[in-house]
Amino acid sequence: MVSSLKKLINEAELNHGDDSEEIFISSGVSWSSYELLLTKLEDNCHYRLTYLDGVLEIVSPSIRHENIKTNLGMLLERFFYNKRIRFIPMGSSTFKNKAKKVGAEPDECYCIGEQKSIPDLAIEVVVTSGNTNKLEIYRRLGVVEVWFWERNQLKLYHLRDKSPNEQATVYPDTYGYELIFTSELLPQLDIALFERCLTISDSIQAIDEFEQGL
């Protein structure tokens, strides 16, 4: 696995100029190996690790991916300030639980109101799909809402099944989350406005239109 990781890093560096997004997936990875890789990559913010039941996914995000992530966080934090909502940004911090065999590094995540060990909201920008199921990971971690930005659209999921069971019994097809169309954490947020402004390439224009619509 370590040699495969070195290969991934070398390929990512070679392909960096064409803005490709590299994904490496390996099964049968022990928890200790996962934690070892977290330690090895703790000073390298270019890679994101996801772990679920022995399946490890390593992603090297593209420039396009990072641009969307940055703009999304920028607009959402403008919303927080405008509505006087207290929040704690947690960025792409690592959240893991050995007993539940999961670990994730969201693109952006936030605690609403006060600091917590697990974010209330996790956001994933999907440019190239991987194989690990992020909703199952976030269910086991106890993240209340998960948003996916994919194909210029947001999909919002709210956690309904908070049981410690290995398998979700409520909304099993979406791993205990319900697909929603208005955020229950942030009911004042106009999702259509948010989506429209996220597709504007000029960041100043995007901010201006977003703030005018608030």
Distance CA 35, CA 42 (A): 10
Q: For residue range 70-110, list pLDDT tens digits in order.
A: 999 999 999 999 999 999 999 999 999 999 999 999 999 99
**pLDDT value at 131 more than 90:** no
**Which of 19-28, 87-96, 122-131, 166-175: highest mean pLDDT?**
87-96
pLDDT in tens, 160-176: 998 777 778 889 889 99
Distance, C-alpha 121 to centroid of its chain: 9
Q: Does residue 13 surpass a pLDDT of 60?
A: no
Higher pLDDT, 1 or 52: 52
136/206 Cα distance (integer angstroms): 33
* Residues in a beta bridge with 155: 148
Instruction: List 180's β-bridge partners, or say none.
Output: 156
Helix (H) or strand (E) holding 114: none
**Number of helical H runs and strand E runs in the chain:** 6, 11
Q: What class is the 62-213 domain?
A: alpha beta
Q: Assess contact for 19 and 62: CB atoms under 8 A.
A: yes
Segment holding 78, helix H or strand E: helix 63-83
β-pair partners for 179: 157
Residues 49, 34 contacting (CB under 8 angstroms): yes
The residues spanned by each domain of the chain are 62-213
